[in-house]
Amino acid sequence: MKLVECQHEWVKHCRLRYRCDPPVGYWFENAHYPLSEKMGGTETIPLWYPDHIVQGVLQTIEYSYPCIFTRNVEEPRILSKVYPEYAYLYQQAAHLCKSYAGKLGAMAGFASEEYMLSPDYKEVRKRGGSKAFEEKLGAFSSEGVRRRLKVRSNPVAITTVQGTFNFESLTAAAQHFKVNRSTISRWKSLPSRLRGIISVSDTPK
C-alpha cells in the first residue's frame, strides 16, 4: 500500500477501500474530521479503528497540534501490527504532542530554569515534602488514597464550544469525553488564558 501522509488523502483512501474491501476485526468509530475535537471540531466521519489512529496521527502532524492521546498505549501497538509503516509517523506525532505540552508549561513559567531555581519553587517543594512526611501521604497510604478518591468524586463543570456540562465526578467527565482523568485535571489547573476552548471548574455539591 502506498504511504499516504495527508489526512485528507487518507480519508479518501479509506472510504474507497470500505466500498471494495471492507475491513474486518476491530470496530468503527466516529473520527473528528477535518478538525479534531481538541481544536473545536464537531464534524465526524466513521473510520475503522486502526484507520482512525492513522488519521489522528496525520491530523496532529498537519496542524502541529495534539490530536492523539499519547497515554493510550494500545494505539502504537495496534499501529505496529496493522500499519507498521506508520509507526515512525506515530512517534513523530507523539513527540510533537510532548513538545506542545512542554511549551504550555514554559508559557506558564513552570518549566523555566528561572522558576526551578527561584526561592518560591524551593519553598513549595520544601513545604510539600514536609507535609507529605508529616501526614504520611504515601501513594498507597490510607490517607493518600482517601484524598485522591475525594478529589475524583468532586462535581465538575466543563465548558466547551458546545456548552457547559455538569458531571458528578472527574471520572464521569472523563468517561463522557473519552479521555483520562488526568487530562481533565490538567486543563483544570492551567491558567485561564491557556485553556483554549475548554475550561473546567468545581461545582458546589
- Domain C-terminal end among 83, 106, 129: 106
The verdict on residue 2 lying in a domain is no
- Whole domain around residue 83: which residue ranges? 7-106
Cell digits of residue 159: 465548558
Is residue 86 domain-shared with residue 23, that is, in the same domain? yes
Looking at per-residue confidence, does 1 or 169 come out higher? Answer: 169
Is residue 144 domain-shared with residue 158, that is, in the same domain? no
Is residue 123 domain-shared with residue 169, that is, in the same domain? no
How many residues are recorded in the chain?
205
Range 97-120 average pLDDT? 64
Residue 28 CA to residue 45 CA, distance in Å, equals 10
Banded pLDDT at 157 (limits 50, 70, 90): confident
Is residue 181 domain-shared with residue 146, that is, in the same domain? no
Minimum mean pLDDT range among 23-32, 78-87, 195-204: 195-204
Phi-psi region of 56 (alpha: psi -120 to 50; beta: other; left: phi over 0): alpha
Q: So what's the pLDDT on residue 30?
A: 94
Range 23-44 average pLDDT? 91
The predicted-structure confidence for 124-139, as pLDDT tens digits, reads as follows 666 655 555 444 445 4
Share of the chain above pLDDT 90, in %: 33
The verdict on residue 147 lying in a domain is yes
At residue 148, does pLDDT exceed 60? no
Domain count across the chain: 3
Minimum mean pLDDT range among 67-71, 75-79, 86-90, 188-192: 188-192
Banded pLDDT at 144 (limits 50, 70, 90): low
Is residue 198 domain-shared with residue 157, that is, in the same domain? yes
The verdict on residue 28 lying in a domain is yes
Is residue 17 domain-shared with residue 100, that is, in the same domain? yes
CB 173 within 8 A of CB 185: no
The verdict on residue 138 lying in a domain is yes
Range 21-38 average pLDDT? 91
CB 143 within 8 A of CB 133: no
Minimum mean pLDDT range among 77-81, 174-178, 198-202: 198-202
Beta bridge partners of 200: 158
CB 141 within 8 A of CB 155: no
Is residue 72 domain-shared with residue 147, that is, in the same domain? no
At residue 46, does pLDDT exceed 80? yes
Is residue 89 domain-shared with residue 59, that is, in the same domain? yes
Looking at per-residue confidence, does 187 or 55 come out higher? Answer: 55
The verdict on residue 82 lying in a domain is yes
At residue 94, does pLDDT exceed 60? yes
Range 33-54 average pLDDT? 92
Is residue 54 domain-shared with residue 72, that is, in the same domain? yes
Is residue 143 domain-shared with residue 160, that is, in the same domain? no
Is residue 31 domain-shared with residue 96, that is, in the same domain? yes
Is residue 128 domain-shared with residue 173, that is, in the same domain? no
